[in-house]
Amino acid sequence: MRNRLILLPGWGLGISPLEPLAAALQGLDEHLRVEIEPLPELESSDLEEWLDELDSTIPQDAWLGGWSLGGMLASELAARRGDRCCGLLTLASNPCFVAWAGWSNAMHENDFNAFLNGFRLDPGATLKRFSLLCSQGSADPRSLARLLLAAAPKTPVAALLSGLQLLGGLNTRQALLDFQGPQLHLFAGLDGLVPAEAAGELVTLLPDVEIGLIEQASHAFLLEDPHGVAGAIQAFLHESGDD
């Protein structure tokens, strides 16, 4: 079903941040079916359990995409499905959210652990801080953060904690290397969560795929300019033979 795109959201903020992008994509191509699939609410941070859940609910032979954690999960699912995935696109999605010796352009481990411990102590305050980090670098960060937080669903704390632990341990580099279909990865130049330099590191890892950097944009660039992002995605789908 090459006219079907499934988008996965990031951690903690639900599907709302993706809705303007989905609407913009539909407006550009009436034949494209865009669906947003909520992340599983699991009390486990085991990647295979998350992928099993997604694999059982997401249609086969569709394009897979996602924002941040959603992009990382889409990458893993694309690699699992192989030829049964039409192509992959990620938005502000680092192959490794937390830095380590093999991937330096990511959040420092101490910063992530402090964030994780902060969430355990005060989930509400930490989610608010997260929304501010997502909007850092935008033209109006406080307004964007309020918009993100206001639309966030009431997800069980245990499920949010599992998702955060999953995010901290994920490394999608091998999945990206294994998936042979078309790929598009878009990064933001002023991202407060995923360093812009990760785009260059990914070019080194994957020299034959499309990687773009939106310079004056935050982690939540899909909300800042949904029509611009939709245009880039539509061009990618068109070039990849979606028509």
pLDDT tens-digit readout, 202-233: 999 999 999 999 999 999 999 999 999 999 99
Across 1-5, 56-60, 193-197, least confident range: 1-5
pLDDT on residue 241: 65
φ/ψ of 25, rounded to 5, equals -65, -45
**CA 7 – CA 17 distance, rounded (Å):** 11
Q: Looking at 93, 162, 185, 191, which residue is catalytic?
A: 191
75 is catalytic: no
Please work out, in degrees rounded to the nearest 5, the angle formed at the alpha carbon of residue 72 by the alpha carbons of 231 and 98. 120
191 is catalytic: yes
Q: Terminal CA-to-CA distance of the chain, rounded, Å? A: 11
pLDDT tier for residue 242 given thresholds of 50, 70 and 90: very low
Domains in the chain and their CATH numbers?
4-239 (3.40.50.1820)
Q: Looking at 75, 162, 218, 219, which residue is catalytic?
A: 219
The whole-number average pLDDT for the span 72-83 is 98
Task: Report H helices in 46-140.
Answer: 47-57, 69-81, 109-121, 123-135
Contact (CB, 8 A) for 86 and 63: yes
218 is catalytic: no
Classify burial at 209, counting beta carbons within 10 Å of its beta carbon; exposed 0-12, middle 13-18, buried 19 or more.
middle
The whole-number average pLDDT for the span 159-184 is 97
Q: Looking at 29, 68, 138, 242, which residue is catalytic?
A: 68
Model confidence at 243: pLDDT above 50: no
Determine if the pTM surpasses 0.85. Answer: yes
Residue-wise pLDDT for 20-33, tens only, equals 999 999 999 999 99
The whole-number average pLDDT for the span 177-200 is 97
Model confidence at 120: pLDDT above 90: yes
